[in-house]
A and B are shown apart, each in its own frame.
Chain A
Amino acid sequence: MGRLSRILHLEWDGDTRDAFSDSHARFQAGRMGMWLFLITLGILFASTIFAFVVVRLQPDPATGWRPTDEPGIPGILLISTAVLLASSWTLTRASAAIVGDQRRQGRQWIERSLILGSLFLVLQAVGWIDMWRAGVYIDSSLYGWTFYVLTGLHAVHVLGGLIPMGVVAARARRGTYSRLSHSGLTYCSMYWHFLAGVWIVLYLTLWLGSM
Chain B
Amino acid sequence: MTTLEAHKPETLDIHASSDNYLTHSKGFISWACTLDHKRIGVMYLVGVLGAFFVGGIFAILVRTELLAPGPTIVGPFAKWMGMDPADVYNQWFTLHGAIMVFLVIIPSIPAALGNFILPVMLGAKDVAFPKLNLFSFYLWVIGALMAVLSLLMGGFDTGWTFYTPYSTTSPAGGVIPIVAGAFILGFSSIFTGMNFIVTIHKLRPPGMTWFKMPLFLWAIYSTAIIQVLATPVLAITLLLLIIERTVNIGIFNPSMGGDPVLYQHFFWFYSHPAVYIMIVPAMGIVSELISVHSHRHIFGYRFIAFSSVAIAMFSFIVWGHHMFTSGQSALMNTIFSAISFSVGIPSAVKVFNWTITLYKGNISLNTPMLYGLAFLFLFTIGGLTGLHLATLSVDVHLHDTYFVVAHFHYVMMGSALIAMIGGLHHWWPKITGRMYNENWGRFAWVLVFVGFNVTFFTQFMLGSQGMPRRYYDYLPEFQTYHVISTVGSYIMSVGFFITAGYLLASLVNGKRAPANPWGGRSLEWQCPSPPPHDNFKTPPRVGDCYDFSIVRWSDEENGYVVDRSLDPSLRENPTPAKGH
Interface string of A38-63 (1 = CB under 8 A from B): 01110110011001101100111001
With A19-B124, A145-B249 as known contacts, state yes or no: A58 contacts B26, CB within 8 Å.
Answer: no
Per a CB cutoff under 8 Å, which of A9, A30, A47, A51 touches B30? A9
Q: Is the CB of B30 within 8 A of A13?
A: yes
Q: Is the CB of A32 within 8 A of B202?
A: yes
Interface string of B192-235 (1 = CB under 8 A from A): 00110111011100000000000000000000000011011101
Interface string of B24-36 (1 = CB under 8 A from A): 1111111001111
Q: Is the CB of B256 within 8 A of A28?
A: no
With A15-B36, A47-B236 as known contacts, state yes or no: A54 contacts B229, CB within 8 Å.
Answer: no
Q: Is the CB of B30 within 8 A of A36?
A: no
B residues in contact with A39, CB < 8 Å = 228-229
Per a CB cutoff under 8 Å, which of A15, A33, A54, A146 touches B194? A33
B residues in contact with A142, CB < 8 Å = 249-251, 256-258
Per a CB cutoff under 8 Å, which of A15, A139, A153 touches B247? A139
Candidate in B195, B235, B240, B257 with the most chain A CB atoms within 10 angstroms: B257
With A142-B249, A149-B240 as known contacts, state yes or no: A17 contacts B262, CB within 8 Å.
Answer: no
* Interface of A, helix, strand, loop or mixed by DSSP: helix
A residues in contact with B125, CB < 8 Å = 17-19
With A10-B27, A142-B256, A142-B258 as known contacts, state yes or no: A51 contacts B228, CB within 8 Å.
Answer: no
Q: Is the CB of B27 within 8 A of A9?
A: yes
Q: Would you call A132 an interface residue if the criterion is a C-beta within 8 Å of the partner chain's C-beta atoms?
A: no
Interface string of A6-32 (1 = CB under 8 A from B): 001111110111111000010011101
Q: Is the CB of A28 within 8 A of B231?
A: no
B residues in contact with A18, CB < 8 Å = 125-126, 130
Q: Is the CB of A41 within 8 A of B232?
A: yes
Q: Would you call A159 an interface residue if the criterion is a C-beta within 8 Å of the partner chain's C-beta atoms?
A: no
Q: Is the CB of B257 within 8 A of A33?
A: no
A residues in contact with B240, CB < 8 Å = 48, 51, 149
Q: In the complex, A55→B240 CA distance in Å? A: 13
B residues in contact with A25, CB < 8 Å = 202
Q: Would you call A138 an interface residue if the criterion is a C-beta within 8 Å of the partner chain's C-beta atoms?
A: yes
Q: Is the CB of B248 within 8 A of A139?
A: yes
Q: In the complex, A44→B34 CA distance in Å? A: 31
B residues in contact with A8, CB < 8 Å = 27-28
Per a CB cutoff under 8 Å, which of A28, A33, A43 touches B129? A33
A residues in contact with B229, CB < 8 Å = 39-40, 43
With A40-B232, A51-B251 as known contacts, state yes or no: A19 contacts B35, CB within 8 Å.
Answer: no
With A9-B27, A33-B198 as known contacts, state yes or no: A44 contacts B236, CB within 8 Å.
Answer: yes
Q: Is the CB of B126 within 8 A of A17?
A: yes
Total interface residues on A, using CB and 8 Å? 44
With A17-B130, A44-B232, A54-B262 as known contacts, state yes or no: A145 contacts B257, CB within 8 Å.
Answer: no
With A40-B231, A139-B247 as known contacts, state yes or no: A58 contacts B259, CB within 8 Å.
Answer: yes
A residues in contact with B37, CB < 8 Å = 17
Q: Would you call A37 an interface residue if the criterion is a C-beta within 8 Å of the partner chain's C-beta atoms?
A: yes
Mark out the residues of chain A between 144 and 161 whose CB falls within 8 Å of any chain B CB in the assembled complex.
Answer: 145-146, 149, 153
Mark out the residues of chain B between 229 and 284 whose CB falls within 8 Å of any chain A CB in the assembled complex.
Answer: 229, 231-233, 235-237, 239-240, 243, 247-251, 256-259, 262, 266, 269
A residues in contact with B34, CB < 8 Å = 13
Q: In the complex, A39→B199 CA distance in Å? A: 17
Q: In the complex, A21→B437 CA distance in Å? A: 41
Q: In the complex, A15→B35 CA distance in Å? A: 7
Q: Would you call A183 an interface residue if the criterion is a C-beta within 8 Å of the partner chain's C-beta atoms?
A: no
Q: Would you call B127 an interface residue if the criterion is a C-beta within 8 Å of the partner chain's C-beta atoms?
A: yes
Per a CB cutoff under 8 Å, which of B26, B201, B233, B247 touches A32? B201
Q: In the complex, A127→B194 CA distance in Å? A: 36
A residues in contact with B28, CB < 8 Å = 8-10
**What 8 A-B pairs have minimum CB-CB distances, sorted nearest first?**
A9-B27, A60-B257, A44-B232, A17-B130, A17-B126, A19-B125, A17-B35, A29-B202
Known: A11-B29, A17-B37, A20-B202. 15 other contacts (CB 8 A): A10-B29, A12-B29, A16-B35, A19-B199, A20-B128, A29-B128, A29-B201, A32-B198, A33-B194, A39-B228, A40-B231, A44-B232, A139-B247, A142-B251, A142-B256
Report B's interface with A, CB cutoff 8 A.
24-30, 33-37, 119, 124-132, 190, 194-195, 197-199, 201-203, 228-229, 231-233, 235-237, 239-240, 243, 247-251, 256-259, 262, 266, 269, 533
- 9 contacts across the A-B interface (CB closer than 8 A): A9-B29, A12-B33, A17-B35, A29-B128, A32-B197, A43-B232, A51-B251, A54-B259, A58-B257
